Chains A and B, each alone.
Chain A
């Protein structure tokens, strides 16, 4: 579903030097997979995720999603391709002046859905994330976990093939974290949506990922298979992350 081929991304540091956030990385993520990107702070995992929907444009390499090289698209075609890629954020990034239903409707309005289709799809998504009774609330009236559920419903609304989740549980307490992870897992299983999830918590990887890439200093150190609580890790870094959890 997602193929990153020899991706490179560097940023200008404030002192004028360059910081290699992602260096010459290739990665393949299969359809229907829940794939983790794990590593310590600054390892390049968020940048790698943002390269998948081109929120960051790579300095080199190809980003192929569902058979389409996103780096080759013009602005309009890229916008259409992005509608197939939902995104969930650590800080939720909901629109404060829109209701819960309004936030979920946003990506559908953008995609040009009719009002009737939007209304029924929004109701459906609210049901999926268990917030049917909160449709008319504003984000400020919700708890952190509820806000993230809205974030997930919003990402899910346009029936995307892929959901990119950038530390979706890092701003939440452990109990809420588990319920959000269950929600993502449920969506993956019921709708076959591919999920790519960035995290620094091994616990997250253990509870929902099929595979995970361990990142360090902008490179993939190892791709580990996850079978329930069993993680088959070879590299020292992966082991240290495992123990930290």
Chain B
């Protein structure tokens, strides 16, 4: 193996630019699908979890217990095991078990209950009196959810989404190794299996940068939306 100088590493990375770009796009795709599923399905699930709690609008011990138990069940799977267990389902939905779209299936599966819990927790911070005031004014349950709960919790929800995005950036690296592609996969294939430490370091730095950007953007947006 040739001696690793900074210049050589840069040249090496420059020659890999198309592959790195491809890896970024794959990671972005996995994240986008996972987050979309989390928002579309995990969000409503979190709202139902919150509303079915004792003392809330639709207090129902059975619904709350069953949903809570299911959420805990999925969340207790180590991600890599969840991924392997979901292979048949992934094949059924996507028709293949490799590629970023296939990896997005277990990612979504893990992201939904994760986000549901984050939403539930965020909604709990809204003072009960504010919801009660809306009830007293004759607001319907749907109006309470949209105009009161989601609006009052909006900055907390953005913070939750930021946490979710960063967690799942890391999960997507795991999914990538099992055939999903992406930045983590590139780091392992070149950096680890082919001893190209420069690629490993560059990919880790890239991830550090992405995480910082996501967190910064999330904080900015959350504080702009927060009028409390």
CA distance A85 to B187 in the complex (A): 64
A55/B143 contact (C-beta < 8 A), A96-B227, A97-B152 known: no
CA distance A154 to B133 in the complex (A): 10
B interface residues, how many (CB within 8 angstroms): 23
> B148 → chain A, closest Cβ, in Å?
7
Closest to A76 in B: B140
In the complex, are the beta carbons of B138 and A55 less than 8 A apart? no
* Interface bin, chain A: 20 to 34
Closest to A96 in B: B228
Q: In this complex, which of B130, B140, B154, B225 has the most chain A Cβ atoms within 10 angstroms of its Cβ?
A: B130
Q: List 16 A-B contacts (CB under 8 A).
A: A53-B136, A55-B132, A79-B138, A79-B140, A82-B137, A86-B137, A89-B132, A91-B127, A95-B152, A97-B154, A98-B227, A107-B138, A109-B147, A110-B140, A111-B138, A164-B136
Q: Mark A85-102, 1 if CB is under 8 A from B, else 0.
A: 111010101111110000
A140 within 8 A of B: yes
In the complex, are the beta carbons of B227 and A82 less than 8 A apart? no
> B134 → chain A, closest Cβ, in Å?
7
In the complex, are the beta carbons of B151 and A140 less than 8 A apart? no
The one of B132, B138, B154, B227 that contacts A93, using a Cβ cutoff of 8 Å: B132
* 5 smallest beta-carbon distances between A and B, as pairs: A82-B138, A93-B133, A93-B129, A79-B138, A87-B136
B135 within 8 A of A: yes
Q: In this complex, which of B136, B147, B226 has the most chain A Cβ atoms within 10 angstroms of its Cβ?
A: B136
Instruction: Enumerate chain A residues within 8 angstroms of B161, measured Cβ to Cβ.
Output: none
The one of A78, A80, A138 that contacts B227, using a Cβ cutoff of 8 Å: A138
In the complex, are the beta carbons of A95 and B138 less than 8 A apart? no
The one of B136, B148, B226 that contacts A82, using a Cβ cutoff of 8 Å: B136
A81 within 8 A of B: yes
A40 within 8 A of B: no
B182-228 residues at the A interface, CB under 8 angstroms: 225-228
In the complex, are the beta carbons of A81 and B138 less than 8 A apart? yes
> B90 → chain A, closest Cβ, in Å?
40
In the complex, are the beta carbons of A106 and B137 less than 8 A apart? yes
In the complex, are the beta carbons of A87 and B152 less than 8 A apart? no
Closest to B143 in A: A110
CA distance A154 to B147 in the complex (A): 15
Instruction: Enumerate chain A residues within 8 angstroms of B226, measured Cβ to Cβ.
Output: 97
B139 within 8 A of A: yes
Closest to A138 in B: B227
In the complex, are the beta carbons of A87 and B154 less than 8 A apart? no
In the complex, are the beta carbons of A110 and B138 less than 8 A apart? yes
CA distance A175 to B91 in the complex (A): 71
> A50 → chain B, closest Cβ, in Å?
9
Instruction: Enumerate chain A residues within 8 angstroms of B127, measured Cβ to Cβ.
Output: 91, 93
Q: Mark B99-140, 1 if CB is under 8 A from A, else 0.
A: 000000000000000000000000000010110111111111
CA distance A109 to B134 in the complex (A): 11
In the complex, are the beta carbons of B225 and A97 less than 8 A apart? yes
The one of A80, A93, A107 that contacts B130, using a Cβ cutoff of 8 Å: A93
Q: Mark A8-29, 1 if CB is under 8 A from B, else 0.
A: 0000000000000000000000
Q: In this complex, which of A80, A85, A107 has the most chain B Cβ atoms within 10 angstroms of its Cβ?
A: A107
Closest to A85 in B: B136
In the complex, are the beta carbons of A97 and B228 less than 8 A apart? yes
Q: Mark A156-171, 1 if CB is under 8 A from B, else 0.
A: 0010000010000000
